[in-house]
Structure 1
Amino acid sequence: MIKKVPVSQLCVGMYVQDLGGSFLDHSFWRSSFLISNDRKLQKLQKSRLEWVLIDTDRGVDVRGDVPGAPVHGPAAAARTGGAAAPQAPAHAATSEQQAFDDAREILDGSRDQVKQLFAETELGNKIDLNQIHGLVQDMADSLDGHPDALTSLARIKKADQYLYAHSVSVAALMTSLARTMRLADEHVHLAGMAGLLHDIGKVRDPAEAPGKIGRPIQPPQELLHQHPGAGAAVLRADSAIPPEVVEVCLHHHERMDGKGFPDQLAGKQIGLLSRMAAICNFYDEMTSSRPYRKGWDPAFTLFKMLQSEGQFDMDVLGAFVRTVGRYPVGSIISLVNSELGLVVAQNRDLPEQPVVKVFYSIRWAHAIPERRVNLAEPDCGSAVQPVRAPVDWAQSGLPVPPVVG
């Protein structure tokens, strides 16, 4: 049911179907979204909007009568002696499916906007910082509602979208990692900005440019080594870009042992945000498929990163593992009953026991009817198979089902 509601009566859990005003009255770039947290609610209340349209089938209804608006669902029941308080329906936007749908919408819109930003930069125009701020805020809001949805879906990239899709993915990972590390809100925002702009030095590379088909072969090292300096030069030309963002663009390929590039910095000579970016950038690159190689399994990637010597800040890497989970959503893990399960959700208090979608029998080497299993439940009938080194199942060509659906 679509209802017209004054902004003063909005609450967390409502689904905004349409913003009732000009784009000059607010800073939202999407016209429909879930009010998933207090930050987004306050942003609406501080806007110049007087009313919005909500969809009560996708979120909670109003608490109390709205003059001139029909009353339906849980709110009506509460006023007629039924349910004591308005509650979201079982299929409301707060569900896992809706969280992934909202995250997919954010990613699609973000990729389009980053494509536009990079194209404007290639033409020599200034970066629209208001647009950057809006993108980072939407990512932060999505992470508040469902931390795994945005970062897991961001790994999915089309060949002709890779540059800006990768930038959006690193921004989401950087924002989420900064939250895990309990950085101040200002630094969380800077982390997201830096993720979006860290590869802007590639805009003049014809094979990486937005709208171009991905590389048929792996790029040469000398070309790879040029983009940090090129990007930093672009960002320095705009005095409004924070120096921390410029520093990440220049140093996200440095290593803790001093063997990185372009300046061979070592240890704490590398800024904290750059050390974070080195991890987020590597993880997203290795878990993403390119025309010249297939992406690694997320859990296998974490294992390889933890085994690396001298490449990453291990304290920050530990925080990153806590951020994405020991078995990130999208990982394929072996179970004790000779089955494979696709990780579809995390149990934050029990990171070694995620929720999986069982889909394959190792013993019989064929797909089996899918079933959802929460490994944290004592009577679930399964468990993770302890292994010395995880298998990179992403390379095996198995008929892997989607995470959601």
Structure 2
Amino acid sequence: MIKKIPVPQLCVGMYVQDLGGSFLDHSFWRSRFLISNDRKLQKLQKSRLEWVLIDTDRGVDVAGAGSNAADGQSAAAGVGARSAAAPQASAHQTAATSERQAFDDAREILDESCDHVRQLFAEAELGNKIDMRQIQGLVQDMADSLDGHPDALTSLARIKKADQYLYAHSVSVAALMTSLARTMKLADEHVHMAGMAGLLHDIGKIRDPAEVQGKIGRPIQQPQELLRQHPAAGAAVLRADPSIPPEVVEVCLHHHERMDGTGFPDQLAGKQIGLLSRMAAICNFYDEMTSSRPYRKGWDPAFTLFKMLKSEGQFDMDVLGAFVRTVGRYPVGSIISLINSELGLVVAQNNDMPELPVVKVFYSIRWAHAIPERRVNLAEPDCGSAVQPVRAPVDWAQSGLPVPPVVD
């Protein structure tokens, strides 16, 4: 239900459906968002807005706001009013509801972000200045989404439409960069810089029709010199705009450099490559390999991490270790074998025990067919299942299994 309420009645956990005023009255660039933390709430309270519209189906209601502060904090983490109103629900149901809400919010952010990145790239191609206010707004939205449910945004971002791959890839790398920077405990300004660099790292591809429009079939093999032109082309676009920080330009130019000096365009090695560029090399490769294209099915996330960890001299291993902690040993969306001859799809992480995720069991290896889905938290002592130790992860993404969605 949509309700009009005065700004002083707002609280953490409410979902703003519309801001009741002109853009001159506030500094928000989006008109719909979850009040996910105190910082956002204070920003609204300090604005010149007198009232807003809230959606009680997607966040805390006015009545519940004053009587139960815990409800508001739960909603800020992605739990909607529906789950707050059902205290008798099981822990599994509550967790599933939280994930659905978080994925809904993340999907909205992704869709809006892709549209805005498309506009930003189009403006850059015309030679116009990049709107840094929009860039900063996009990064802040990602940071807020990662606060509520770290896995929702990064796992959803692997699903890309052919005609928006370039923009969705940019958003995905930005989300991964932001999350990785937080894991590495970088200062807030560097966290935001990492997100901005992720959004703009592939802007050099704006003049490649195959990338912008989406490839329908297997791409025609292009000379390596042509494929390697986009970092320098992107850096040239960004350098022409004095509002772009030099750190962002550096990431655009060097996100394909490798620690052993085999990358491009400058064959830098080791610490000659800036920290943000070393981070971008990992985030960019991971997203490229786990994302499906019309001509290639993406790798399983756990399999991708295994291949990256086994690579010789490609990535900064300290940063890669932080990246594994960021996405989890078994990232959301991975398929893992269980000891009772079943397969489980990873749907959530246990931060204290990353080797024991929450899975959706869906397939019997013994009988080679799908089974009724059930949710299992492998960290619970009496869960009745466990991860099957294997020497190397299997690339289940190539198997053609009837894999269910992460969130129904």
Please report the TM-score for the alignment, with normalisation by the length of structure 2. 0.91
Name the residue aligned to 2:89.
none
Structure 1 residues 308-319: aligned runs within 5 Å? 308-319=311-322
Correspondence for 1:263: 266
Q: Is the 8 A contact 1:208 1:215 kept in 2?
A: no
Instruction: Identify the residue that residue 5 of structure 2 maps to in structure 1.
Output: 5
Q: SS of 2:103's equivalent?
A: helix
Instruction: Map 1:147-186; keep pairs closer than 5 Å.
Output: 147-186=150-189
Structure 2 Cα separation of the partners of residues 214 and 12 of structure 1: 44
Q: Per the alignment, do residues 339 and 200 of structure 1 end up closer, same or farther by CA in structure 2, a change over 3 Å counting? A: same
Any conservation in 2 of the 1:217–1:291 contact (CA below 8 Å)?
no
Secondary structure in structure 1 of the residue aligned to 2:209: coil
Q: 2:196 pairs with 177, 186, 193, which one? A: 193
Q: CA RMSD in A?
A: 1.9
2:218 aligns to what? 216
Deviations 1:180-214 (A, max 9, x none): 111111100100000000000000011112x4445
Please tell me whether the aligned partners of residues 215 and 294 of structure 2 are also in contact (alpha carbons under 8 angstroms): no
CA–CA separation in structure 2 for the residues paired with 1:84 and 1:167: 37
Shift of 1:27: 3.3
Gaps of 5+ in 1: 63-71
Deviations 1:199-237 (A, max 9, x none): 00000011112x444563265322221000000000001
- What is the aligned partner in structure 1 of residue 90 from structure 2? none
Aligned equivalents of 1:84 and 1:283: distance in 2?
Answer: 39
Aligned counterpart, 1:45? 45
- Structure 1 segment 330-349 matched on structure 2, within 5 A: 330-349=333-352
- Residue 376 of structure 1 aligns with which residue? 379
- Residue-pair matches, total: 389
Q: How does 1:289-304 map to 2 (within 5 A)?
A: 289-304=292-307
When residues 162 and 349 of structure 1 are mapped into structure 2, their CA distance, relative to the original with a 3 A threshold, is: same
Give the direction of change, closer, same or farther, for the CA distance of 1:123–1:340 in structure 2 (3 Å limit).
Answer: same
2:83 alignment partner AA: H
Q: 1:275 to 1:19 in 2, by over 3 A?
A: same
Matches for 1:4-403 after TM superposition, within 5 Å: 4-62=4-62, 72=63, 74=64, 78=67, 89-91=81-83, 95-209=98-212, 211-214=213-216, 216-217=218-219, 220=222, 221-403=224-406
Q: Give the drift of 1:125.
A: 1.2
Following superposition, the deviation at residue 15 of structure 1 comes to 1.5
For the Cα contact (< 8 Å) 1:298–1:331, is it kept in 2?
yes
CA deviation after TM superposition for structure 1 residue 96, in Å: 1.5
Amino-acid identity (%): 88
Name the structure with the higher helix share: 2
Q: Distance in 1 between matches of 2:70 and 2:289?
A: 47
- CA, structure 1 residues 146+86, in 2 after alignment: closer, same or farther (shift >3 Å)? closer
Tell me the equivalent position of 1:68.
none
* Residues 57 and 82 in structure 2, CA contact (< 8 A), matched pair in contact too: no
CA distance in 2 between partners of 1:35 and 1:215 (Å): 42
